Amino acid sequence: MSKVNIQALVRENVNGLSPYSSARDEYVSDGSEMVFLDANENPFENGVNRYPDPQQRGLKEVLASQKGLNSSNILFGNGSDEVLDFIFRTFCEPKQDNIITLPPTYGMYKVLSGINNIENKEVLLTSDFEPDVEQILSAANSNSKLLFLCSPNNPTANSFSRNKIIELLEKFNGVVVIDEAYIDFSKEESWLSELSSYSNLIVTQTLSKAYGMAGIRLGVCYASEEIIAVLNKIKPPYNVNELTQKRALERVLNLDKVKSEVADILVERDLLSKALLQLKFVSKVYDTDANFVLAKLDNATERYKQLLKKGIVVRNRTTQPLCENTLRFTVGTKEENQRLIQVLKEIQ
Ligand SMILES: Cc1ncc(COP(=O)(O)O)c(C=O)c1O
């Protein structure tokens, strides 16, 4: 159990902000029909002529009940990349604070630290792709506001061990952000159930992966009511558009479909891992808890180029630390994976 003082971690100017408030936030509806002449919209109905609900109430209610949380524990962003940016801007004072990331990992943490002018302290994962708890804690100082744990991790595909995450939640004196973009493919449980135990925990998820909605851009931030209230001060009022809210709601109300697609992807993932291992130039296929497979090859860059020539785009991760000569393969449809394997066999 940890009790970090969140208010003390928030940037001073952010603590003093009030969220943007529109006229429609400022009255309580009694259900009667209203005439909206407050927001300078075009009055002619076309389905999107009105501003969207800035608090996305409908979508929040459904997700909250599915996840066993309250709407006040949720904030949405234009993809989880936007959510991550809100987290930076809430907690990190430019040129003063720092964050800790664990390469090889998702590249946006570093990009966002650059954009926000925040030092990024990098502590390599261990050779078995686990957080090096001792090194992380010794790298941290009183200006270390955020620690990013991507679990399952991109590109290594593994989930971090539960004990290591607990130790970090208990000993890191800043906010621990667990990026669960790939959690729906994992055999591990989400950390959402621990939100009430750790005041310094933020969990981010997305509709871009298992939910199959990368094109609508919807990222989700789950945290204590206190953290969500501060993040709401940073959020632009209409960051999640009407079409996104509608499509996301339809999708989260159709969880069976999401689950059945995930089940298909998991079957394909195992077939793909096994097929990759049969290839002469593949020396290792890493265990995966996500919807992609990382494999070590003889010459990743050469193989990457050969695949491109045959019309297949994969991700070359060879320049990432601990990932020399690796390619990352997203699990596609049965036909796409068969095509990949066929081409890989041809270039053997
Ligand atoms: C670990 C991780 N987090 C976040 C994202 C970004 O997700 P979104 O599409 O919600 O911005 C990605 C995208 O690849 C990712 O791999």
What are the boundaries of each domain within the chain? 6-253, 256-346
Q: Give pLDDT, residue 348.
A: 86
User: 108 CA to middle of ligand 1, Å?
Assistant: 8
Q: Give pLDDT, residue 167.
A: 98
Q: Give pLDDT, residue 1.
A: 53
User: 181 CA to middle of ligand 1, Å?
Assistant: 6
User: 255 CA to middle of ligand 1, Å?
Assistant: 20
Q: Is the CB of 155 under 6 A from ligand 1?
A: no
Whose CA is closest to atom 7 on ligand 1? 80
Judged against a pLDDT cut of 90, whether residue 251 lies above it is answered with yes
Q: Which of 30-44, 180-194, 313-327 has the lowest mean pLDDT?
A: 30-44
Q: Give pLDDT, residue 86.
A: 98
| Residue pLDDT, tens place only, 261-278 | 999 999 999 999 999 999
Q: Which fold has domain 6-253?
A: Aspartate Aminotransferase; domain 2 (3.40.640)
| Token reading at 318 | 């060879």
Which of 75, 76, 108, 251 for a ligand 1 pocket mutation test, highest count of atoms within 8 Å of Cβ?
108
Whose CA is closest to atom 3 on ligand 1? 181
Q: Give pLDDT, residue 20.
A: 85
What's the chain's Rg over C-alpha atoms? 22
At residue 135, φ and ψ (nearest 5 deg) are: -65, -40
Question: Per-residue pLDDT averaged across 113-136, rounded?
Answer: 98
Q: Give pLDDT, residue 2.
A: 63
Q: Is the CB of 154 under 6 A from ligand 1?
A: yes
Which residues lie closer than 8 Å to 189 by C-beta, 6 or more apart?
A: none
User: What is the number of the ligand 1 atom nearest to the C-alpha of 219?
Assistant: 10
Q: Is the CB of 81 under 6 A from ligand 1?
A: yes
Q: Is the CB of 170 under 6 A from ligand 1?
A: no
Judged against a pLDDT cut of 80, whether residue 133 lies above it is answered with yes
Type of residue at 251 = R
| Token reading at 140 | 């941290």
Percent of the chain with pLDDT over 90: 94
User: What is the number of the ligand 1 atom nearest to the C-alpha of 80?
Assistant: 10
User: What is the number of the ligand 1 atom nearest to the C-alpha of 209?
Assistant: 9
User: 205 CA to middle of ligand 1, Å?
Assistant: 8
Which residues lie closer than 8 Å to 153 by C-beta, 6 or more apart?
A: 102, 104, 105, 106, 125, 129, 159, 160
Q: Is the CB of 208 under 6 A from ligand 1?
A: yes
**Mean pLDDT over all residues of the chain?**
96
| Token reading at 310 | 């045959």
CATH of 256-346, one of 3.40.50.300, 1.10.287.1080, 1.10.230.10, 3.90.1150.10: 3.90.1150.10
User: 26 CA to middle of ligand 1, Å?
Assistant: 34
pTM of the model: 0.97
User: 179 CA to middle of ligand 1, Å?
Assistant: 8
| Token reading at 291 | 């919807």
Residues 143 and 96 sit within 8 Å (Cβ to Cβ): yes
| Residue pLDDT, tens place only, 101-120 | 999 999 999 999 999 999 99
User: 185 CA to middle of ligand 1, Å?
Assistant: 14
How many Å is the maximal CA-CA distance in the chain? 70
What residues does 330 pair with on adjacent strands? 292
Q: State CA 76 to chain mean position distance.
A: 12
Kind of pairing between the strands at 201-206 and 175-179: parallel
Q: Is the CB of 77 under 6 A from ligand 1?
A: no
Judged against a pLDDT cut of 90, whether residue 19 lies above it is answered with no
For every residue of the chain, which 3-state class applies, written as one string? CECCCHHHHCCHHHHCCCCCCCHHHCCCCCCCCCCCCCCCCCCCCCCCCCCCCCCCHHHHHHHHHHHCCCHHHEEEECCHHHHHHHHHHHHCCCCCCEEEECCCCCCHHHHHHHHCCCEEEECCCCCCCCCCHHHHHHHCCCCEEEEEEECCCCCCCCCCCHHHHHHHHHHCCCEEEEECCCHHHCCCCCHHHHCCCECCEEEEEECCCCCCCHHHCCEEEECCHHHHHHHHHHCCCCCCCHHHHHHHHHHHCCHHHHHHHHHHHHHHHHHHHHHHHCCCCEEEECCCCCCEEEEEECCHHHHHHHHHHCCCCCEECCCCCCCCCEEEEECCCHHHHHHHHHHHHHCC
Q: Is the CB of 80 under 6 A from ligand 1?
A: yes
